[in-house]
Structure 1
Amino acid sequence: MIRRYGDPVRADRHYRRRPGVYAVLLSGDDILTTFQETPLPEFQLPGGGIDPGEHPMAALHREVREETGWRIGGLRRIGAFRRFTYMPEYDLWAEKLCTVYLARPIRRLGPPTEPGHHAVWLPVEEALVRLGNAGDRALLAAALR
């Protein structure tokens, strides 16, 4: 059973399953996050949806590069969670299946290429409060144990 975080499932909505991969990127007492401006400004674990036919690890590397501009390595699976949410950028009600990995930021390649995303280093204690969804906060806490 994968734990659910966030809003309850609404019986009046049809949700499309959307698998995604995300990274906890620690360096000392700091974590590399992405700050997404829209639809709501929030700090997030870098990552996102897996494209059809794409390997999950390739998706994780691509998403982290797009959202932070960093290359990563040393991946280890932490866990997974589900969120039922509306994704206005896709006009889609989604059941997000979020698999989270602990990884090392290896090298900054340049600025993020994903529009509206900014790479932001936060102290871990601050990130535990400021990450925009409860699943991200819970998996960060799990990575720290």
Structure 2
Amino acid sequence: MIRRFGEPPQKDRHYHRRPGAYALLPRDGRLLLTCQYDPGPDLQLPGGGIDPGESPLPALHREVHEETGWSISKPRKIGIFRRFVYMPEYDLWAEKLCHIYVARPVRRIGPPKEQGHEAVWMNQEKAANFLGNPGDRHFAAQINKFRALD
């Protein structure tokens, strides 16, 4: 069974399944995060939707680069969770199936390519309290289990 974070699904609502790949990116006691400013500031693990026909790892590399401007290496899957949310940018209700990885941030290639996103470095403990959704906070709070990559 896949653990759910956040609100339970509403019985009378149709949810579109939306798989995604997201990364914990530790370096020197900090995590590389993304802040999405639209529709309002939201601190997130970098990552996003897996496009139809795309595999999770290429999606992870693409999304991290788009949202932070960084390249990553050695991604390792550490868990999965789901949450039921409204996605205003797509005007749809989604069952987000979030594949979580830990990876090494290698180098900054440039600014984020995705408009309305900013790369943010934050102390790991602070990040575990300030991330915008409970699933991200859960995995960030466990980052010390995955320190082998740091």
Alignment match, 1:97: 97
Q: Deviations along 1:45-87, whole A, 9 cap, x unmatched?
A: 0000001111211100000000000000011111000000000
Alignment match, 1:76: 76
Alignment match, 2:107: 107
Superposition CA RMSD, Å: 0.8
Alignment match, 1:17: 17
Asked if structure 2 preserves the Cα contact closer than 8 Å seen for 1:69 and 1:108, the reply is yes
TM-score of the aligned structures, taking structure 2 as reference length? 0.94
How does 1:45-56 map onto structure 2 within 5 Å? 45-56=45-56
Asked if structure 2 preserves the Cα contact closer than 8 Å seen for 1:78 and 1:142, the reply is no
Q: Deviations along 1:97-138, whole A, 9 cap, x unmatched?
A: 000000000010000010000000000111011000000011
The residue type paired with residue 133 of structure 1 is N
Asked if structure 2 preserves the Cα contact closer than 8 Å seen for 1:74 and 1:103, the reply is yes
Q: Provide structure 1 residue ranges, at least 5 long, that are not aligned to the other structure.
A: none
Asked if structure 2 preserves the Cα contact closer than 8 Å seen for 1:24 and 1:45, the reply is yes
Alignment match, 1:38: 38
Distance 2:13 2:144 in 1: 36
The residue type paired with residue 33 of structure 1 is L
Alignment match, 1:129: 129
